[in-house]
């Protein structure tokens, strides 16, 4: 590696690592704020929070990498231009394209690493992160007794505390309703004071009560004066100086859900799994289209139960042939019979049915009767029957169309995710082709102008990505066009910047536009003089 390559790569790697970490932190903070209310107050350990943040940080890398490449390349080449190092390199006869080559190679390798991460690591991280987040949402809030309010988070127990001292353990004026026997408010404990703390690794809550009473209301079976059974109620009151109650807090723990319930989501699938999903959805959609066509043909284009001559569309015919051949290949051949087979002949009769001649005669009579209906006035019953039949056919067609639209939307969603895995990876190259030439043009390093330029182009990239995604979901444009639109636009802008940087264009200097304005005025004046008539 030449010294010039080492100089340029060393000027790029430092800002890249720093900006990547900063961008991941910003995106992670913005993402986690959406779930702030679901996380706070759940008494989660640092290990759970650390695991959640780690997986979400990996989930943010597809967006963070292109932005980090854009910002770091702007800073690196802006610093080189500001300190006239690019000028010195050009004075040695080294072109700008040659100066960009070592970082371009690094960005290409980074693009390959980004593709591997987007296709393998990010789906697994999304599965771990969102399954853990779901379990956190289902977890009960931490034990929090408030003064003057009943606390009902412990199953079948209601606790009210009049005063809670600052030490967090000493309580005053305690009332406990025990509903574990499912008999209503018949078991009550009242205490003057008490202490509350957890034991056995926070698995149990222990209450030490002082100077109180236990009230228990029950029923007793007796007989009245006439010997009949009579159910009565009893009330027992027990005074205590000290009593201990232990409650199970297992319901407050973090119970993990089986991850298989989340694996079907598109963001948790890699490209091969997405292809399998799209193939399955495509088969279901073709089945619905075939059913719609056959239903429409059989009910609307069939006359006198004759064989229909309306052919299947080419795509449906190919799918039907492929499906039938696959079903035939899977079917097991019949076992050979030991009884010799009889020679089959094509007779004019069928078992249990009249002869073919009789059938033809009956059919001709039926046709004649049916044709006569076209000239005779329709009765009310016939009109009602026809309307019911039409409604039935319409309902079937609407149902088929709804199923086809549903499968079509699902297919586009999975297809969008498939293209996003590639597009997010190749966005690194497009961002580099914008950042490096732009930094060489503006010749400003640091975190001022480069950050401003990065924000502008990232907003453009984000808007184009969101618009393309939305239009592709709505089937307004094809999925490849919608997803690759942002990368294509940025790539064109990057190539234009590269062309301007090669000729040392001063796009961001006032003199450039002043000179261009003067040239435009001179050209306009020359055109005006040429248009004057000659005397």
Rounded Cα–Cα distance for residues 381 and 383 (Å) = 5
In the sheet that holds 157-164, the strands lie side by side as: 150-151, 157-164, 170-178, 187-199, 204-223, 229-248
Residue linked to tokens 């967090």: 168
* Mean pLDDT of the region 171-190: 85
pLDDT band at 284 (very low <50, low <70, confident <90, very high): confident
The percent of residues above 90 in pLDDT, for the chain, comes to 21
Which among 497, 518, 514, 521 has a CA at the least distance from the CA of 441?
497
Would the pLDDT of 364 be above 70?
A: no
* Mean pLDDT of the region 108-116: 94
Rounded Cα–Cα distance for residues 290 and 293 (Å) = 5
Domain residue ranges in the chain: 3-139+424-465+481-522, 150-252
More confident residue, 196 or 362: 196
Q: Report yes or no: 213 and 189 within 8 Å, Cβ to Cβ.
A: yes
More confident residue, 390 or 53: 53
Predicted local distance difference test score (pLDDT) of residue 365? 55
pLDDT band at 88 (very low <50, low <70, confident <90, very high): confident
pTM above 0.85, yes or no: no
Predicted local distance difference test score (pLDDT) of residue 353? 42
pLDDT band at 418 (very low <50, low <70, confident <90, very high): very high
Rounded Cα–Cα distance for residues 74 and 19 (Å) = 11
Rounded Cα–Cα distance for residues 502 and 497 (Å) = 9
* Mean pLDDT of the region 105-123: 93
Q: Please report the DSSP string for 471-527 in residue order.
A: HHHTTSS-HHHHHHHHHHHHHHHHHHHHHHHHTT--TTSHHHHHHHHHHHHHHHHHH
Rounded Cα–Cα distance for residues 220 and 229 (Å) = 10
Predicted local distance difference test score (pLDDT) of residue 480? 92
Would the pLDDT of 488 be above 90?
A: yes
Would the pLDDT of 56 be above 90?
A: yes
Would the pLDDT of 306 be above 80?
A: no
Predicted local distance difference test score (pLDDT) of residue 77? 83
Sign of CA dihedral 76, 79, 81, 85: negative
* Mean pLDDT of the region 347-364: 46
SS3 379: coil
Rounded Cα–Cα distance for residues 268 and 55 (Å) = 12
Instruction: Record the tokens describing residue 434, joined without a space.
Output: 């914008």
Predicted local distance difference test score (pLDDT) of residue 224? 57
Query: What angle do helix axes 46-59 and 3-32 make, rounded to 10 degrees?
Result: 120
Which among 141, 132, 122 has a CA at the least distance from the CA of 60?
122
Would the pLDDT of 507 be above 70?
A: no
* Mean pLDDT of the region 472-497: 91
Note the pLDDT tens digit of each residue in 222-263.
Answer: 555 555 555 567 788 889 888 888 888 776 777 777 777 888
Which among 259, 126, 124, 249 has a CA at the least distance from the CA of 198?
249
Predicted local distance difference test score (pLDDT) of residue 203? 79
Burial of 194-232, coded b for 16+ CB within 10 Å and e otherwise, reads bebeeeeeeeebebbbeebebebeeeeeeeeeeeeeeee
Q: Report yes or no: 221 and 229 within 8 Å, Cβ to Cβ.
A: yes
Predicted local distance difference test score (pLDDT) of residue 135? 82
Rounded Cα–Cα distance for residues 534 and 138 (Å) = 90
pLDDT band at 354 (very low <50, low <70, confident <90, very high): very low
Would the pLDDT of 355 be above 50?
A: no
Instruction: Record the tokens describing residue 352, joined without a space.
Output: 């249990």
Would the pLDDT of 136 be above 50?
A: yes
Rounded Cα–Cα distance for residues 374 and 60 (Å) = 70
pLDDT band at 59 (very low <50, low <70, confident <90, very high): very high
Predicted local distance difference test score (pLDDT) of residue 26? 92
Name the least confident of 74-88, 462-476, 513-527.
513-527
Spell out the long-range contacts of 482-489 with Cβ–Cβ below 8 A and sequence spacing 24 or more: 482/416, 483/416, 483/419, 483/420, 483/423, 484/419, 484/423, 486/423, 486/427, 486/461, 487/423, 487/426, 487/427, 487/430, 489/460, 489/464
Phi-psi domain of 305 (left: phi exceeds 0; alpha: psi -120 through 50; beta: other) = left
SS3 250: helix
* Mean pLDDT of the region 275-300: 81
- Per mean pLDDT, which of 292-296, 309-313, 345-349, 495-499 is the most reliable? 495-499
pLDDT band at 152 (very low <50, low <70, confident <90, very high): confident
Residue linked to tokens 């004075």: 91
More confident residue, 317 or 40: 40
CA 149, 150, 154: angle at the middle one, nearest 5? 140
Rounded Cα–Cα distance for residues 252 and 153 (Å) = 9
Predicted local distance difference test score (pLDDT) of residue 66? 92
* Mean pLDDT of the region 431-435: 90
């Amino acid at each position: 590696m030449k010294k010039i390559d080492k100089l340029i790569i060393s000027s790029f790697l430092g800002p890249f690592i720093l900006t990547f970490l900063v961008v991941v932190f910003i995106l992670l903070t913005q993402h986690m704020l959406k779930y702030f209310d679901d996380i706070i107050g759940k008494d989660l350990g640092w290990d759970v929070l650390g695991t959640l943040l780690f997986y979400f940080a990996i989930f943010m890398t597809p967006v963070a990498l292109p932005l980090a490449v854009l910002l770091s390349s702007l800073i690196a080449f802006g610093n080189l231009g500001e300190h006239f190092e690019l000028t010195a390199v050009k004075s040695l006869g080294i072109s700008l394209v040659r100066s960009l080559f070592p970082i371009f190679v690094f960005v290409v390798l980074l693009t390959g690493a980004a593709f591997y991460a987007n296709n393998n690591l990010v789906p697994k991280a999304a599965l771990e992160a969102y399954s853990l987040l779901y379990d956190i949402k289902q977890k009960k809030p931490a034990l929090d007794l408030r003064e003057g309010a009943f606390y009902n988070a412990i199953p079948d127990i209601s606790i009210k505390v009049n005063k809670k001292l600052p030490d967090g353990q000493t309580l005053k004026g305690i009332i406990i309703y025990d509903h574990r026997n499912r008999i209503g408010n018949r078991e009550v404990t009242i205490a003057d004071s008490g202490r509350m703390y957890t034991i056995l690794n926070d698995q149990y809550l222990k209450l030490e009560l002082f100077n109180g009473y236990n009230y228990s209301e029950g029923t007793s079976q007796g007989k009245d004066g006439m010997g009949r059974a009579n159910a009565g109620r009893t009330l027992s009151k027990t005074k205590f100086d000290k009593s201990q109650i232990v409650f199970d807090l297992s319901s407050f723990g973090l119970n993990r859900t089986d991850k298989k319930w989340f694996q079907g989501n598109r963001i948790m699938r890699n490209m091969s799994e997405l292809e399998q999903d799209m193939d399955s959805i495509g088969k279901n959609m073709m089945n619905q289209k075939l059913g719609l066509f056959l239903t429409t043909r059989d009910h609307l284009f069939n006359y006198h139960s004759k064989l229909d001559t309306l052919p299947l569309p080419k795509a449906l015919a190919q799918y039907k042939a492929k499906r039938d051949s696959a079903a035939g290949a899977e079917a097991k051949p019949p076992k050979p019979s030991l009884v010799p087979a009889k020679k089959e002949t094509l007779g004019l009769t069928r078992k249990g049915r009249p002869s073919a001649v009789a059938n033809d005669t009956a059919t001709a009579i039926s046709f004649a009767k049916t044709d006569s209906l076209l000239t005779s006035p329709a009765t009310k019953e016939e009109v009602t029957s026809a309307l019911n039949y039409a409604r039935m056919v319409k309902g079937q067609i609407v149902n088929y169309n709804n199923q086809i639209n549903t499968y079509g939307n699902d297919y586009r969603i999975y297809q969008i995710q498939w293209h996003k895995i590639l597009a997010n990876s190749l966005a690194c190259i497009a961002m580099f082709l914008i950042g490096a030439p732009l930094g060489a043009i503006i010749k400003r390093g640091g975190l001022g102008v480069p950050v401003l330029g990065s924000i502008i182009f990232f907003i453009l990239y984000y808007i184009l990505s969101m618009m393309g995604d939305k239009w592709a979901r709505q089937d307004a444009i094809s999925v490849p066009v919608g997803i690759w639109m942002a990368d294509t636009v940025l790539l064109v802008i990057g190539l234009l910047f590269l062309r301007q940087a090669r000729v040392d264009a001063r796009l961001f200097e006032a003199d450039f536009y002043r000179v261009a304005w003067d040239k435009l005025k001179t050209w306009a004046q020359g055109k005006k003089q040429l248009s004057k008539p000659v005397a």
